Structure 1
Amino acid sequence: MIKEPSDLDPAGAEPIELAPALLERLAAIRAEALQTLGSGDPVYGVNTGMGNLSKRRLTDNEQRRHQRNLLLARAAGGPPWLPPEEARAVLIGRLRTFLTGDAAVSVGLVNQLVALINSSHVPAIPSEGAGSAGEIIPLAHAAGPLVGLGWVTDGADVRPAAGLLPPFELGPKEGIALLAGIPGATGRAALNATRARRLADHLTAVSAGAIAVVGANRDPYQAVVGRGDDVLAAELTRLRELAGPEPDPRGLQAPVSFRIAGQVVAHVRRTLQQLDDAVERAFDGVTDSPAYLDGEFVGTAGFHGLDLTAYCDHLTAALAHAAEVSTARLHRLLDPTVTGLHAQLARDPGPQAGLVAVHKRAVAITHQLRRLTLPTAISTAETSNGQEDVQTFSWEAVGNLGEAIRHTRETTACELLAVRQAFALSERPVPPGLQPLLEAVDDVVPPIDADRPFGDDLTAILTHVL
């Protein structure tokens, strides 16, 4: 039972039920807002046009059609569509902003939105092409099914939205409310933050496995090295615990990619916390426009998602660096002078190539990642005849972050496969803290005794382990 907006988790999959007290509060705000609208004062997008047409006052007949019309021409996107879990996160993001009361929408619209979230379908929302000061194109696609417009998907097929939900007619201000702010990017960012948290834990564990299997000197992972940085000190402690007791080190210093493992993952965790904070600011702040605040409609700039965009970019760059370091360690794991094992981790080097092509795949992935690290908000593109003369592209920033997470999982899978093979070829015992991870790999990847299509093994790790 959702009692407060903050109870909504965009990454959650359970059906949503709203507390009666919350709905009563929204109903009271709606009644007050309708009374305020009755004065006839101009309210942007309600009794006026939008964007560069906001100076045009609408007649009563035009106002009755206007809110639905707002969803029509703005649904200008197309495939590829968001994955269902991301589309659901967009809807939950929209619901969470409605529950603040700023949008002053009806309980009927809120219940219609909940019904769509709880259905077995989600709107077909374009993953690309959101060129506007906010995200009106994807939001028009997301909101269309509430009134029988557009398309929905169950993850397999795409079908017309008509007939999925009971008929619903938008009332005053409800169309523009559906298009306001950046709830879609915020919901997707919250979902990506959940994914990135899981990934950070795997980055730590796989790094520790590499440290352990090459017998790296443990000095760089002492907690005292993290003095003045609690995040780093905690990460170094985790690495040291997972890597297990220090054997006789193979050298005074391991390659740099091993020694900096703590700093790399600590930075990922630090930037992830910054993104979490930005998501909460976006959800808790005023993003509707016009927002109903203290008894009046107030035009806002809550659609300007620079805060969210910047921290999505920051985490994308942190993950790109983590993937590069992982790929460098993977290359060292193929080197007998570092591991003391067979070249390229092949059982029979020469007749067998070993995991050299796995490293080549990781190199290609890190190259793709580098191209995602260009700052997203660096643009002054104009739309709406110059009314929207600056954009932050938060929708694109969160999309880039999703791609960065996917690519970094792939490089992590490549390194994990090499760590597992290195342990199989060595006499070093698997530290207790790493046994569950490597046993999970063993459950889906047969022993590597000869060359084979290692892409199948990587797919199994990505599907069942990471």
Structure 2
Amino acid sequence: MIVLTGDSLTMEDFRRVVLEKEPVTLSEQAMKKVKETRAAIDGIVENGKIVYGVNTGFGKLSDVKIAGNEVKTLQRNLIFSHACGVGEPLAEEVARAMLLLRANTLMKGYSGVRPVLVEQLLLFLNEQIHPVIPAQGSLGASGDLAPLSHLALGLIGEGEVIYDGKRQPTAEVLREKQLQPLSLQAKEGLALINGTQAMTAIGALAFLEAEKLCRQCDWIAAMTLEGLRGVIDAFDENIHRARGHQEQIEVAGNIRRLLSGSRLVSKQGELRVQDAYSLRCIPQVHGATRQTLAYVKEKLAIEMNAATDNPLIFDGGEKILSGGNFHGQPIALAMDYLGIAVAELANISERRIERLVNPQLNDLPAFLSAKPGLESGAMILQYTAAALVSENKTLAHPASVDSIPSSANQEDHVSMGTIAARHAAEIISNTRNVLAIELICAMQAADIRGPEQMARETKALWEKGRSIVPPITSDRILAKDIAKMNSWLKSTADCAHDLVV
């Protein structure tokens, strides 16, 4: 059971709740502050004090005062008017993550919502009632307005949800489960949609997948080194300590461990003095991506526990301040960085694939084919990898360098952080397919070299891989093999077994 305090949610907690469906409860201590700030909002409404988003319009309409008897209508109107996302729905895991993250930020006690609103978020989360949230429509400031509005629709009994594997009207699901829709009070609509929970949810899930790929790409590259009789000296610890990047040192150490005892790798000068960069520079490239992930994880960990609402309430309501914590720039930059870093894993993997299939670059049968000429073997596997890598280059263009004014130029700089997060997630998906292709090719090369000569660790990976994708003994529909290998890489953590590298 994960307890939400507003301050202590970790990436591991996030994973357990979102992916493993671990139940969540609320901290009683933290709830005291939630109640205190709600009392402050109630006092503002009673006294008629003008506060943005409580009894004013929104954005450029913030100068319009709202009568006390219309503040509830104001909040409902806000959700309806802002729920204008388009495109395919975000994955259910993203909707779960958004429910979790929004509940956590409200538990910080700066937003002025009633406890029942946070409880409704957790009810949907724990009952696995996932709002249908269109993927497109957020500028990333004033937060993820459109996606979070679609999430809020579910809480008030509107829109659609995915429940029990089916897309259904929310009202029907609530009736079936004998649950009541939420009736929004002053400020609560704004408190639900002003924030970065869509980009952070997509980003955190993307990070978890990228972290997995960083482990897997070392395993796969090690097998490729055997298939190409790579020079092991390039991974000597002295080389990498001389430069000093810890992640580079770690990757080189991983490769040495994975290839320990291999009779397929070569020594400097045996077959060649040194390898091409895609083999020789594995620690430098993979290590740099790991460095990026450390930065991204730090920013996500902060944002998962951040107050991103506006305005925020301090000192029991004595101080109510309008600011810009909803602006997604920290996550936008981190997501662009993540996408670029993971794209590089695909770039170098595709170059290794080329070296495995190109007869001018190795001493293996052309395109790893059993009958070169009559059969094309792995030729078009490299084409697919090249296409994915090229697509990644387009997706890796930074979204955060763009901005466009909105709300009659009141909101004149935005982050595009949700676009950056979505692009990073797409790059990760493409990269997994590229690595799946490299693994298929590396296994084929290992078959030709002789699996009995492989290192213990890479042979274990080869054996597992061969239980998923059989050898290419004649031309067949390889799309099915890529899909199977991709699915396995997505479902497993470390490839061959539980050794963490």
- TM-score in same-fold range (> 0.5): yes
Q: Is the 8 A contact 1:212 1:244 kept in 2?
A: no
Within 5 Å, give how 1:106-185 maps onto structure 2: 106-131=114-139, 133=141, 134-154=143-163, 156-163=165-172, 164=174, 165-185=179-199
Equivalent of residue 64 in structure 2, options 31, 56, 74: 56
Equivalent of residue 344 in structure 2, options 321, 341, 347: 321
Relative to structure 1, the CA distance from residue 394 to residue 439 in structure 2 (aligned partners, 3 Å threshold; closer, same or farther) is: same
CA deviation digits over 1:211-241, x for unaligned, max 9? 1221211122122222321111111111121
Equivalent of residue 245 in structure 2, options 229, 232, 255: 229
Partner of 1:10: 14
Partner of 2:498: none
Question: Is structure 2 residue 241 aligned with structure 1 residue 220?
Answer: no
Shift of 1:41: 2.2
Question: Is structure 2 residue 307 aligned with structure 1 residue 286?
Answer: yes
Q: Is the 8 A contact 2:261 2:456 kept in 1?
A: no
Question: Is structure 2 residue 435 aligned with structure 1 residue 431?
Answer: no
Shift of 1:194: 0.9
CA deviation digits over 1:29-53, x for unaligned, max 9? 3234433554432111111000011
Shift of 1:297: 1.6
4+ long deviations beyond 4 Å:
none
Q: Is the 8 A contact 1:291 1:297 kept in 2?
A: yes
Q: Is the 8 A contact 1:189 1:312 kept in 2?
A: yes
CA deviation digits over 1:390-427, x for unaligned, max 9? 11111111000100110000100010000111101112
CA deviation digits over 1:260-313, x for unaligned, max 9? 111111111111111111112223343110011223221111121111111111
Relative to structure 1, the CA distance from residue 45 to residue 14 in structure 2 (aligned partners, 3 Å threshold; closer, same or farther) is: same
Counterpart CA distance in 2 for 1:245 and 1:15 is 45
Q: Is the 8 A contact 1:288 1:302 kept in 2?
A: yes
Equivalent of residue 30 in structure 2, options 13, 17, 22: 22
Counterpart CA distance in 1 for 2:231 and 2:294 is 30
Shift of 1:132: 5.8
Q: Single out whichever of 71-80 and 130-139 deviates more from structure 2.
A: 130-139
Partner of 2:466: 442
Q: Is the 8 A contact 1:379 1:390 kept in 2?
A: no
Partner of 1:248: 266
Counterpart CA distance in 1 for 2:357 and 2:148 is 48
Counterpart CA distance in 1 for 2:64 and 2:4 is 40
Within 5 Å, give how 1:379-458 maps onto structure 2: 379-427=402-450, 429-458=453-482
User: What amino acid does structure 1 have at the position aligned with 2:14?
Assistant: P
Counterpart CA distance in 1 for 2:4 and 2:420 is 31
Shift of 1:94: 0.9
Q: Is the 8 A contact 2:358 2:366 kept in 1?
A: yes
Per the normalisation by structure 1, the TM-score is 0.95
Relative to structure 1, the CA distance from residue 273 to residue 260 in structure 2 (aligned partners, 3 Å threshold; closer, same or farther) is: same
User: What amino acid does structure 2 have at the position aligned with 1:284?
Assistant: N
CA deviation digits over 1:290-348, x for unaligned, max 9? 01122322111112111111111111111112211100110100134544221111122
| Cα-Cα RMSD | 1.8
Shift of 1:155: 8.0
Q: Is the 8 A contact 1:71 1:143 kept in 2?
A: yes
Aligned length: 466
User: What amino acid does structure 1 have at the position aligned with 2:70?
Assistant: E
Question: Is structure 2 residue 397 aligned with structure 1 residue 374?
Answer: yes
Counterpart CA distance in 1 for 2:481 and 2:164 is 25
User: What amino acid does structure 2 have at the position aligned with 1:455?
Assistant: A
Q: Is the 8 A contact 1:132 1:388 kept in 2?
A: no
Q: Single out whichever of 371-380 and 277-286 deviates more from structure 2.
A: 277-286
Per the normalisation by structure 2, the TM-score is 0.89
CA deviation digits over 1:145-204, x for unaligned, max 9? 100111112485422111424122112211100011212211221111111111111111
Shift of 1:55: 0.4
Report the 3-state secondary structure (helix = DSSP H, G, I; strand = E; otherwise coil) of the residue aligned with 1:438: helix
Q: Is the 8 A contact 1:84 1:154 kept in 2?
A: no
Uncovered stretches (5+) of structure 2, i.e. residues with no partner: 491-501
Relative to structure 1, the CA distance from residue 25 to residue 75 in structure 2 (aligned partners, 3 Å threshold; closer, same or farther) is: same
CA deviation digits over 1:59-114, x for unaligned, max 9? 01211211111100111113310011111111112112111112121110011000
Report the 3-state secondary structure (helix = DSSP H, G, I; strand = E; otherwise coil) of the residue aligned with 1:44: coil
Report the 3-state secondary structure (helix = DSSP H, G, I; strand = E; otherwise coil) of the residue aligned with 2:79: coil
Relative to structure 1, the CA distance from residue 233 to residue 105 in structure 2 (aligned partners, 3 Å threshold; closer, same or farther) is: same
Q: Single out whichever of 1-10 and 66-75 deviates more from structure 2.
A: 1-10
CA deviation digits over 1:117-153, x for unaligned, max 9? 1223311111112136221111100111100111112
Counterpart CA distance in 2 for 1:155 and 1:393 is 33
Equivalent of residue 203 in structure 2, options 171, 181, 189: 189
Q: Is the 8 A contact 2:98 2:198 kept in 1?
A: yes
